[in-house]
Amino acid sequence: MAHFKPIKMHTVPSSFGVMQLKVFYQSIVVDADTCITWLQDNGLLVRGMFCKCGLVSVLGKFLGVAEDRIRCPERNCRKVASLRIGSFCEVFNFPLINLLEFMYLWAKEIISTDVLVENLGWATATITDWKNFIRHLFERSFWQLLSP
């Protein structure tokens, strides 16, 4: 059993109005911190988690860790977990900015595996897996909208 349990958050979709996809993309893929903040603001990443010791863990940067982590503030506990726990990108091993780059290209209907490999530098199998994964997410969301 995991040491951390994600905090359930109410997701309120952002209201961007009419904005070009490129402008939107450039506004969130500035750096890792901006990317993480956008994903959290839109309910795609957690802001904190409840630790088994009962405290809410905090987000922070830790020595020797490439990405932000969530850590229990209890002095005797200090358990550390990925902020990706419980999210759709939990199994994604690349930086989150790379995931948003993929989603941007996918949204622009640039779906040729060869073009995606060239632009992202990922393996063909990884591109295929993520195209299938995104397709599955959309299918599942579509069927949830139709079910009562």
8 domain-assigned: yes
Give the pLDDT score at 73. Answer: 78
What is the pTM assigned to this prediction? 0.64
Task: Report the number of distinct structural domains present in the chain.
Answer: 1
Residue type (1 letter), 136: H
Domain of residue 76 covers 4-90
84 domain-assigned: yes
136 domain-assigned: no
Instruction: Give all strands of the β-sheet with 80-82 in edge-to-edge order.
Output: 58-60, 69-71, 80-82
63 domain-assigned: yes
66 domain-assigned: yes
At 9-61, the pLDDT tens digits run: 444 444 444 456 677 777 777 787 888 888 888 778 877 778 877 777 766 66
Contact 68, 81 (CB under 8 A): no
114 domain-assigned: no
25 domain-assigned: yes
Q: What is the dihedral of CA 75, 4, 66, 27, to 10 degrees?
A: -120
